[in-house]
Structure 1
């Protein structure tokens, strides 16, 4: 169904047994008889297409002349897949190719001019996907975080990775024997508890996900426990020196250097490691991790670079 310049769709790929939900954003004066460059937009971890990827970046890129598909990851948002809230990096990376498989069937999409953009954990997944999905001709990471590294660091603060793996093993055995699945919340329960952490990323994450600023029905920031080993053993940047060769734009905020999510550090790391000879690291003064989700001084400044980047590379 088309509402204004957005079409709400679902589609199924032959390699899966569930539907992916997505919103297609169209340029002004869209003409079905023409072909357009396209952008795939990926949401953060624990998020959904109605938040930053589909509410900020997709509309701005559509306004600039692109067909943009903002999709919900498998097992999350309005997409199918069980168990719910599964955060499996392998599945998240495969989703990008599943989305491109759908895009290239659309007559108004130029299959040779497809770019990709992701935010936060979606930015890390974007970088990982682009290593092997060469239908992406240009790649943008917005405050991208390496989710595997983040999970290992969190585990390290709570008894260590091996202890975390042992706990997951116990939970998986319990569920195999009939126990209910377990889901963990990623955020403190209250704004006061978030403030007590003293960490800018946690404080601003609560503000974004738990207030009218960014709250959305499917943006739950919940994670299924029993399959958490997948992330603990994964690295978004593995083989980037050999495989990540597309034109690349990395956007980070300098205020994010203080945050627990590590996007500032990850941005510098992947910029140095990526095989691409055409790459840019944009560090926005005064911008935090969550400013790059929706604030004029963050996302607004990022888009001033993202739009011309895609115009040049696609």
Structure 2
């Protein structure tokens, strides 16, 4: 069956977001459909798992799914490039919803959100304050603020913030930007470096090979703009504000990025009266990106979840 994908341009603050609308196979512009915003992982893009796996699958279930590139990333606007800023990432979700509610074939009262990896936590956070979101799904969601505050800052966030401040001042005075790569260049380089940690090695296998590599996916970050991430928490006030129906999917093979830990935490803390925790037994974080069996496990729960709440 041929995929029905249309390009879309979403107005953000002072730039546009590039998006793909994944439409149902029998799409009819004279009908109205529920819609789902699909949020990509850290360092990813709309053509990877948020679009070509989960967006594609949910469109087949008669949803209009919009997968988009985050501000400063992929084909979207915003400068300087390669900024991973949670505040912008969350506001992007609302800009995308602003676009959806102008489409005559979208039912504005039936809009949900799904996110993968860092996108899962951004989706959760967005649903706390944008009440247009009626249901939220998180697939191997990672609280990027927690990760930056801990492992990604060497468990010394104050020292990291001092270094960021020094670098930002240097760049403001004309120094070359510092771009940090999240991953080795390829699996062979990872092996040469002696890397064995499951999330790092499997991320390299996904992002640095034909398995998942796409031109818009750039697993890098502008170091001088990472301070906001260190001070951010995706789950802040979840006990009071996270009331929308919630479906959290994780694998039970934990890795350094902490999706299993974060999934159990937000399931416990969410104020949602209707919430579900799905554990894909025997599978890892990156298995849930594109591997058939764990993706099937996720969708077997997500599809009826959205059908019930949208």
Which TM-score tier does this pair reach, normalised by the shorter chain? Answer: over 0.9
Conservation of the 8 A alpha-carbon contact between 1:294 and 1:300: no
Question: In the TM superposition, what are the counterparts of 1:276-291 in structure 2 within 5 Å?
Answer: 276-291=272-287
Give the match's secondary structure for 2:34. strand
Structure 1 residue ranges (4+ consecutive) displaced by more than 3 angstroms after TM superposition:
none
Conservation of the 8 A alpha-carbon contact between 2:178 and 2:222: yes
Question: In the TM superposition, what are the counterparts of 1:124-143 in structure 2 within 5 Å?
Answer: 124-143=121-140
Tell me how far apart the structure 1 counterparts of residues 136 and 204 of structure 2 sit (CA, whole Å): 28
Tell me how far apart the structure 2 counterparts of residues 156 and 96 of structure 1 sit (CA, whole Å): 26
Tell me how far apart the structure 2 counterparts of residues 191 and 65 of structure 1 sit (CA, whole Å): 38
Find the counterpart in structure 1 of residue 204 from structure 2. Answer: 206
Find the counterpart in structure 1 of residue 298 from structure 2. Answer: 302
TM-score by length of 2: 0.97
Find the counterpart in structure 1 of residue 18 from structure 2. Answer: 21
Conservation of the 8 A alpha-carbon contact between 1:25 and 1:58: yes
Tell me how far apart the structure 1 counterparts of residues 74 and 190 of structure 2 sit (CA, whole Å): 24
Tell me how far apart the structure 2 counterparts of residues 229 and 193 of structure 1 sit (CA, whole Å): 29
Alpha-carbon deviation of 1:194? Answer: 2.8
Unaligned runs of 5+ residues in structure 1 are none
Conservation of the 8 A alpha-carbon contact between 2:23 and 2:63: yes
Tell me how far apart the structure 2 counterparts of residues 243 and 20 of structure 1 sit (CA, whole Å): 27
Of 171, 175, 186, the residue aligned with 2:171 is 175
Tell me: CA distance 1:23–1:244, structure 2 relative to 1, closer, same or farther (3 Å). same
Tell me how far apart the structure 2 counterparts of residues 254 and 155 of structure 1 sit (CA, whole Å): 22
Find the counterpart in structure 2 of residue 217 from structure 1. Answer: 215
User: Could you say what the CA RMSD is over the residues aligned between the two structures, in angstroms?
Assistant: 1.2
1:248 maps to 2:246: yes
Query: For 1:148-179, what per-residue CA distance to the aligned partner results, in whole angstroms no more than 9, with x for missing partners?
Result: 11111124536x11111111011100111012
Of 16, 32, 35, the residue aligned with 1:35 is 32
Task: Say how many residue pairs are matched.
Answer: 307
Tell me how far apart the structure 2 counterparts of residues 75 and 11 of structure 1 sit (CA, whole Å): 14
Alpha-carbon deviation of 1:142? Answer: 0.2
1:5 maps to 2:4: yes
Unaligned runs of 5+ residues in structure 2 are none
Tell me how far apart the structure 2 counterparts of residues 194 and 132 of structure 1 sit (CA, whole Å): 40
